[in-house]
Chains A and B, each alone.
Chain A
Amino acid sequence: MIKQPLLLSKVNVVYAIVVGVMAVLPFVLDSRTMTILLTQFCIFAILAMSYDILLGYTGIISFGHAMFFGIGAYTTAIMLSDYGPSIGIFAVSIVVGIVLSAIISVISGALTLRLKSHFYAMFTLAISGLFLVLAEKWRTVTKGNDGFTFRAPELFRERLYFYFLVLICLVVVFILLKRIVASPFGKVLVAIRENEQRTRSLGYKTLGYKIIASVIAGAVASLAGSLYAISLRFVNTSVMTMDITLDALMMTIIGGVGTLIGPIIGAGVIEFAQHYLSGLAREYPIFERWIIFFGILYILAVIFFPRGIVGTVSLRYHEWKLKKGQKTKASVKLREKEIQR
């Protein structure tokens, strides 16, 4: 019979251990750079997971995801500099950012999600372009291209505390999204990805599901943006640019689309690779152009690992299991499905 996964399943135990390791890592390494890098990694992991809800689960390609990240970053930065750097204001700014993102994604979703995928992608690009221009031109609020610095709440000036906050956010978002994708609602999202017309003929109004998915993704991205602003204590228009969207896209694809854990791993790979590749530049000048290596890495990943790291590993694992003949074919297939989701 089919059973619900246990709370103390093997996978969950592994997750718990990983979180534990990540929590003690800054003490072991004891380096400021490392703590900052880990913080960045967690923030982008949150962003990439939110992107995976769209790309991996609902099958929506958005080129405008940076706009929600930017909305979160600007909301937090502006509120902290205007109303003073307190934890309370910070918390409120996160909520305000999420609400703003939700409203904007409902409006833009209702306008554009009826479109076929590639038209939708173009529209999201246009809308996020609009927000980028807004951030550049609305100088009284955003200080234009140069951006502005602001004071972070006292507590977060200690890098370590802030890292813990971000780590907790990562865990909470992961659990929350994991629940959502395993819910009946999440199953409908996957159905839309697989065959939208068929989903409709089963009696689901797919537009509503797609809008809700984009609201969830937008809200989570906005949270990531708020955290990002605090981590830099500075914000400028770069948070709204296509680069952010592309980062999220690549982290999701390299890690494994439609897995949630994949984007986290993808974020780790990319953040740390970025760090070390640009570090190598001191010895080998060619690495000043580390972006080139990244381009090659991306192309290779898409050609040889279209399922991403997690997808490929779980496939190999199940093939290996199949060979060992430990399980019946049917149950292995089921496990494979569960892991893909």
Chain B
Amino acid sequence: MEPIIKTSNLSIKFGEHKAVDNINFEMSAKHFKSIIGPNGAGKTTFFNLISGELEPTEGDVFFKGLSLRKKSSVERTRLGIGRSFQITNVFPNLTVLENVRLAVQSKRKVRFHMLNHFLKYKEITNEAIGILEQVLLTDKMHQVANQLSHGEKRKLEIGMLLALDTEILLLDEPTAGMSLEEVPAILDVIRSIKERGDKTILLIEHKMDMIIDLSDSIMVLFNGALLADGTPEEIMNNETVQQAYLGGLAYD
């Protein structure tokens, strides 16, 4: 089967520093892959290259065989690559519902409609409310995003991503900075997306139990390079990975 997403020799240099170094990876549709690696391993940069936030100095990303080299982040989203951000990136002064509705509106291609009141598009509002139910934010619907707790903002991020309904979901540390009580809720949301089985998911995370529980495969980045790629068992038993991730190599 043709991989839904593939990178070839993907590299980016910031000055002399190779943040992502010659990564070749591919992934088939409806697969769940996690990316791990110590801080500064280039995980988020790798996401930025896939989603088009950054341009590679070398190499290319392919979506269903189509080169993304000349595609902006907008076009990639429309093709089917959606992402959430590690640092919460929502519309701070809009309500939770409005945040999600903007994503639904984009997916439904209601973009340049100028003369109808936005509430006339009931199906958009209803779908947004449905999404909020999934991410357990219905009761906060009319609050301004600014007033949400950190964990709730993360849920909102995922909600906006779900609303876009893209084939590929790039989740950048969805539980970053969340309190322990908040994590299970996010975990449930991600698990339910996985169980529906229609999405290809790439997840960056640090919480190993969560990764092992969810992932079909894991790839390990280290100093920008691909250190290992395999099933959770393979990765856990890989000595180089243990050294890199659990100490030793990382801080020398």
Do residues A337 and B95 form an inter-chain contact, with CB atoms below 8 A?
A: yes
Tell whether A198 pairs with B91 under 8 Å between CB atoms, given A183-B114, A183-B115, A331-B142. Answer: yes
Question: Across the two chains, which residue of chain B brings its CB closest to A204?
Answer: B106
Question: Across the two chains, which residue of chain A brings its CB closest to B110?
Answer: A184
Question: Across the two chains, which residue of chain B brings its CB closest to A194?
Answer: B91
Do residues A195 and B89 form an inter-chain contact, with CB atoms below 8 A?
A: yes
- On chain A, the residues within 8 Å of B89 by CB distance are 195, 197-198, 201
B210 CB to nearest A CB, Å:
25
Do residues B141 and A330 form an inter-chain contact, with CB atoms below 8 A?
A: yes
Tell whether A2 pairs with B106 under 8 Å between CB atoms, given A200-B73, A333-B144. Answer: no
Do residues B91 and A195 form an inter-chain contact, with CB atoms below 8 A?
A: yes
Do residues B119 and A203 form an inter-chain contact, with CB atoms below 8 A?
A: no
B51 CB to nearest A CB, Å:
7
Tell whether A194 pairs with B94 under 8 Å between CB atoms, given A200-B74, A201-B83, A202-B164. Answer: yes
- On chain A, the residues within 8 Å of B103 by CB distance are 202
Interface size, chain B (Cβ < 8 Å): 43
One of B74, B115, B124 near A180 (C-beta < 8 A): B115
Do residues B92 and A194 form an inter-chain contact, with CB atoms below 8 A?
A: yes
**Is the CB of A191 closer than 8 A to any CB of chain B?**
yes
Question: Across the two chains, which residue of chain B brings its CB closest to A202?
Answer: B106
- On chain A, the residues within 8 Å of B107 by CB distance are 203
Question: Across the two chains, which residue of chain A brings its CB closest to B98?
Answer: A187
Q: Which of A179, A183, A184, A198 has the most CB of B within 10 A?
A: A184
One of B90, B94, B106, B117 near A179 (C-beta < 8 A): B117
- On chain A, the residues within 8 Å of B90 by CB distance are 195, 198
Do residues A187 and B101 form an inter-chain contact, with CB atoms below 8 A?
A: yes
- On chain A, the residues within 8 Å of B211 by CB distance are none
B97-137 Cβ-contact flags toward A at 8 Å (1 or 0) = 11001110111001111111111110011000000000000
- On chain B, the residues within 8 Å of A184 by CB distance are 105, 110-111, 113, 116, 118, 121, 124
- On chain B, the residues within 8 Å of A204 by CB distance are 74, 106, 111
Do residues B91 and A188 form an inter-chain contact, with CB atoms below 8 A?
A: no
A134 CB to nearest B CB, Å:
32
Do residues B93 and A194 form an inter-chain contact, with CB atoms below 8 A?
A: yes
A204-219 Cβ-contact flags toward B at 8 Å (1 or 0) = 1100100010000000
Top 3 closest pairs, chain A to chain B, by CB: A203-B77, A194-B91, A4-B119
A-B contact pairs, 11 of them (CB 8 A): A3-B119, A4-B117, A4-B120, A183-B117, A184-B121, A185-B113, A203-B74, A203-B78, A205-B74, A333-B95, A333-B143
Seen from chain B, the residues whose Cβ lies within 8 Å of a Cβ on chain A are 51, 53, 72-74, 77-78, 83, 89-95, 97-98, 101-103, 105-107, 110-121, 124-125, 141-144, 160, 164
For the A-B complex with A203-B77, A330-B142, A330-B143 known, give 15 more contacts whose Cβ atoms are closer than 8 Å.
A2-B119, A5-B117, A183-B114, A183-B117, A184-B113, A184-B124, A187-B101, A187-B102, A188-B102, A194-B91, A197-B89, A199-B102, A200-B73, A202-B106, A337-B98
Seen from chain A, the residues whose Cβ lies within 8 Å of a Cβ on chain B are 2-5, 179-180, 182-188, 190-191, 194-195, 197-205, 208, 212, 330-331, 333-334, 337
